Amino acid sequence: MTGTKLTYEQLLAQNKQFKRKLVELKEEINLLRKSFLPEENYYKDRYYRITENVNDVVYRLILPDFRYEYMSPQAKDLFGYEPDDFYNSPLLIRRIVHPDFFKYFIEHWRALIIGKAPDYYEMKIVRKDGEVRWIQQKNLMIKDDSGKAVAIEGIVTDITNRKLTEEALINSEVQKKAILNNLPHLAWLKDCDGKYLSVNESFANSVNKSTEEIIGKTDYDIYPDTLAQKYREEDLKIILTREHLFIEEQTSNLWYETFKAPIFNSSGEVFGVTGISLEISKRKKNEAEIKEYSEKLAVQNVKLKLINDELKNAKEKAEESDKLKSAFLANMSHEIRTPMNAILGFATLIRNRILTQEKRREYIDLINSNCRQLLHIITDIIDISKIEAGQISIFNRNFLLNKTLNDLYLNFNNQIEVLKKPIEVSLKTGLKNEESALFSDKVRIEQILTNLLANALKFTDKGEIEFGYYIDRRRDVVFYVKDTGIGMTEDEQKIIFDRFRQVSTSFNKMYGGTGLGLSISKGLAEKLGGRIWVESKVEKGSCFYFSVPYTPGIHIEKPPQIDFTAEYNWKGKTILIAEDEDVNYNLLETILSPTNVKVLRAKTGDDAVEYCKNKNTIDLILMDMKMPDMNGFEATKRIKAIRKDIIIIAQTAYAMSTDEDNCLKVGCDDYISKPIRIDDLLRKIEQYLRVKKAVQIHTEENTVIHKSI
């Protein structure tokens, strides 16, 4: 049979369906006879409509003149002959029946006529092209009202594939028996009808039968009905789901562990179920004893579980940390190498080429710009690492919110002027200046607003950017940054705060960036006790919001800042540079050389302490906090114990939010992080030297007055 191959269960269901169709057909024939419809035309039309969509051969043979009234078109596929060949030569069937089965075929038809033939029978046929195939045939004797046989109706199904599978199975029986009979397990193989095709001797012994007595039988012939029904339901489940089944059950006083699985033929069809079962009564007894003993160890197990949970959490944290490290390395490589490429490239040009003063200044400006970009990337990486690790710290202080936002406004306006973008910037505040004191982390709020403003500037070419804050009904300070930029879709808004995400993949190359700014802002906002969100429409712009709890602060007036000039003259002053790295010392010495100050150097903390013990002329120390032998923290403590009047400014590559506090706690007067901003360093030194000079003058005047008195 050609076309789609059916399983045995599907074939049985299909044959039952055809049987119902034939009964309906008989009823319709009787009705049409009464209506004087020519019987032959009716059958041909009706059979054609029934069989046109099936793969089996359907026929009707008229008795006693032995002629085919109908033969379905599928006869061509199965027998190799056209339906007309059967109409013209009814005895063609003799040529089709395999010689080995001809006698069996004649006996079957005789039994059929007298009503004693089985429902189904199988035999071999020879196609027109000589190919031998197996068929299964179902015949139905049709009788008239008087009980006389008038026709035979039948269905012929190609079962070649099934028979070949069974034959292969039977041919391998000897090999299987040799293996199975040496197993202590109970092993068996059934077909889809539940008949045993093979069992090993262990199985036969378990039911007190020989293997020959079991082959061809079903579970209903061996076990009680209840148990047999259970086994049959398990087999049908395996056949239908095509999945294996593992069962552990107790039968009588014995325990068995059973594994059942479907068996497939070369076409992927299920043709049977195999099983293997092992008696595990002794093991179950041991398990019961172990369970009893385990209950006595319950307390110890609870303790072990707690320890294991702690180890698991530590392992998960380590794995997560490693995962984040890998993600940072992969995603940051490009962003770090880009400014490094510019820095190294322009530095090489300055060293190796003769350049005009203007060109040299241009290259230096580009190196400085890319250095700042690289520093910003490094800061972002550190911040997102600390956020992901849950180690970000918040330091609340009193500050004027309006002043902080006004400083951001001025800096942001300067950026827009440098970029020459046609953008109007506006600032709106929710409190009066004198009422805007807030107790929160000023640095983190500035960081979030700076990220949001930078984001707005990046994606807005023209129009407006507005930022500010208001106090909502929940008494939260709600900050916002609103722009008229490219905007976002709803899907993009859902992922915008994820790490390394930007508005769209299509914009990444155009706008660049690490994709960390908004993720950092989200982490910081949540750490501050608030949240962050966005509202946006494509080509209409975006508005980013974040909130922090409103805790009014205390406004403390600060003394006015000293107005510094661009040039400094510190002749007669001595500055000690505590720095072990030659390149860092050379940079600081070069920065200070135009000021006429005297410079001393200490390569270790011990050297710095000795200088302060032996030289009273030192006015200020630039203290590196990481040095060999004795670090800057310990050296500062010892120096302040000797001379409290010496100004110590910490200059360090440690740049976390806690590092400044740590430096001030050990006695440093001020703090500046590396890479050092030259103008900031010079202003700090000038401020402290001026204050010290004023103190000295005041002290000398008091001394003169005292002597005159």
What is the chain's percent helix, strand, coil content, to nearest 5? 50, 20, 30
* Cα gap 484→476, rounded to integer Å: 26
Of 51, 120, 53, the residue nearest 43 (C-alpha): 51
Report d(CA 700, CA 709) in Å as an integer: 14
The per-residue pLDDT for 667 is: 92
pLDDT at 149: 83
Q: Can you list the alpha helix ranges (DSSP code H) found in 244-356?
A: 281-296, 298-352
Burial class (CB in 10 A: 0-12, 13-18, 19+), 382: middle
Q: Answer for the pair 421, 415: CB distance below 8 angstroms, yes or no.
A: no
Distances (CA, A) of 166 to 134, 135, 265, 391: 12, 14, 10, 69
Q: Give residue 528's identity as a one-letter amino acid code.
A: L
Instruction: Extract the tokens encoding 133.
Output: 């195939």
Q: Is 425 helix (H, G, I), strand (E, B) or coil?
A: strand
**What is the residue whose two structure tokens read 């010892």?**
638
How many CA within 13 A on the CB side of residue 481?
27
CA torsion 422→424→425→428, rounded to 10°? Answer: -170
Residue count (the chain) = 709
Whether residue 99 is preceded by a cis peptide bond, meaning omega within 30 degrees of 0, is: no
Spatial separation of the C-alpha atoms in residues 427 and 436, rounded to whole Å: 14
* Distances from the Cα of 390 to the Cα of 212, 317, 347, 358, angstroms: 73, 11, 39, 48
Q: What is the pLDDT of residues 232-290, one digit of tens each?
A: 999 999 999 999 988 888 877 788 888 899 999 878 889 899 998 888 878 777 777 77
What pLDDT does residue 315 have?
81
Q: Is the dihedral of CA 390, 335, 532, 504 positive or negative?
A: negative
Residue at token pair 């709600």: 478
Name the strand (E) or helix (H) holding 2. Answer: none
How far is Cα 69 from Cα 43, in angstroms, rounded to an integer?
8
Pair type for strands 132-143 and 245-251: unpaired
Lookup: tokens for 583: 């390149």
Q: 491 is written with which tokens?
A: 């899907």
Integer Cα distance of 18 and 21 in angstroms = 5
Are residues 534 and 545 in contact, defined by beta-carbon separation less than 8 angstroms? yes
Task: For residue 256, count other CB atoms closer than 10 A to its CB.
Answer: 18
Phi, psi of 117 (to 5 degrees): -80, 150
For β-strands 532-537 and 254-264, DSSP reports them as unpaired
Residue 555 and residue 435: Cα distance in Å, rounded? 8
**10-residue averages of pLDDT along the chain (709 residues):** 60 76 71 49 54 78 86 90 91 90 87 81 91 90 84 89 78 65 81 90 88 91 90 91 87 82 88 87 76 73 80 76 59 67 81 83 81 74 72 83 91 83 92 91 90 90 94 93 91 78 44 68 91 92 94 70 64 92 89 92 93 89 89 92 91 67 88 84 90 55 41
Instruction: Find where tokens 């041919």 sit.
Output: 171
Pairing of strands 67-71, 57-62: antiparallel
Q: How far is CA 58 from the centre of its chain?
A: 56
Pairwise CA distance, residues 355 & 360, whole Å: 6
Residue type, 370: N
CA 554 to chain centroid, in Å, comes to: 48
Q: What element of type H or E holds 369?
A: helix 357-388
**197 backbone dihedrals φ, ψ, rounded to 5°:** -95, -30
Q: How far apart are CA 424 and CA 466, in angstroms?
A: 8
Q: Residue 548, Cβ neighbours under 10 Å: how many?
A: 23
Cα(431)–Cα(438) distance, integer angstroms: 11
Neighbours of 433 (CB within 10 A): 13
CA distances from 442 to 396, 406, 409, 533 (A): 7, 13, 15, 20
Alpha-carbon span 221 to 363, nearest angstrom: 97
**CB within 8 Å of 203: residues ≥ 6 apart:** 186, 187, 188, 211, 214
Please state, in angstroms and rounded to a whole number, the distance separating the CA atoms of residues 643 and 574.
15
Considering only CA atoms, which of 20, 93, 98 is closest in space to residue 61?
93
Q: What is the pLDDT of residues 327-342, one digit of tens each?
A: 556 556 656 776 777 7
pLDDT at 1: 43
Neighbours of 344 (CB within 10 A): 13
pLDDT of residue 387: 74
Contact 187, 273 (CB under 8 A): no
- The domains found in the chain, sorted by start residue, are 8-158 (3.30.450.20), 165-286 (3.30.450.20), 299-387 (1.10.287.130), 395-549 (3.30.565.10), 574-705 (3.40.50.2300)
Q: Which two tokens stand for residue 645?
A: 């009047």
Place of tokens 């043709």: 271
Cα separation, 522 vs 546, in Å, equals 8
Give me the pLDDT at residue 699, please: 47
